[in-house]
Amino acid sequence: MIEDKILLWKMKHGSSDALSRIYEKYKSDLFSLANSLLHDLNAAEDVVHDVFVSFVKSADEFQLTGSLKGYLLTCVANLSRDRVRARKRSSIGMNKTDTAIPDYKTPSQALISAEELHCLREAIAKIPYEQREVVILHLQGRRTFRQIAESQGIAVGTIQSRYRYGLEKLRSLLDGEVEK
């Protein structure tokens, strides 16, 4: 969008208002993505913080070729992945679901019950990370399979497979919850 281009240009010239505006504009999307991937509010905050600090530091050399939102989402996804790898766990935060789920609900979330919402978030946290990442990036981040594949240097077919397996896993987990 033109507004993003101008904000970015002004930020490169040192405008703190432009930087604040970029943060305000995309913070919710970025934080939601980080929290969905890491299932840990504190870790999500760290990731968003680090992405913005890095964004500011590299502003001079930065060339935007797609959407700013897409770029920032990719940064959050990459950094989240690094965090997960660093912890050397295939699934993280499983014992932190109580702290990871905030009380606040957006209007759209009000359309489903708190219990359903809780179950869904719990189930997503249990999907293998690589699958969860694709499911979240595609559905929540609205990234296309091709965009995800390009950002990770992986074949589109692999990404699509991970997505499919992720949804299947999600369904089996939620059906398991129902059967209990």
CA–CA separation, 26 and 28 (whole Å)? 6
The secondary structure element, H or E, covering residue 167 is: helix 156-179
Q: Given the complex with other proteins, which of 67 and 157 has the nearer CB atom? A: 67
Residue 86 corresponds to which tokens in the numbers above? 């660093």
Residue in this structure with the two tokens 């507004």, named with its chain if needed: 3
**Residue 32 in contact with other proteins, rule: CB under 8 A:** yes
Q: Which of residues 79-118 bind other proteins (CB under 8 A)?
A: 102, 104-112, 117
Q: How far is the CB of 151 from other proteins (least distance, A)?
A: 13
Q: How far is the CB of 120 from other proteins (least distance, A)?
A: 6
* Distance between start and end Cα atoms, the chain: 48
**Residue 62 in contact with other proteins, rule: CB under 8 A:** no
Q: How far is the CB of 89 from other proteins (least distance, A)?
A: 21
Span from 81-89, 91-99, 131-139, 154-162 in contact with other proteins (CB under 8 A): 131-139
**Residue 171 in contact with other proteins, rule: CB under 8 A:** yes
Q: Given the complex with other proteins, which of 19 and 84 has the nearer CB atom? A: 19
Per-residue CA distances from 84 to 101, 107, 127, 131 (Å): 19, 31, 14, 13
**Residue 132 in contact with other proteins, rule: CB under 8 A:** no
Cβ 63 vs Cβ 105: under 8 Å: no
CA–CA separation, 177 and 180 (whole Å)? 5
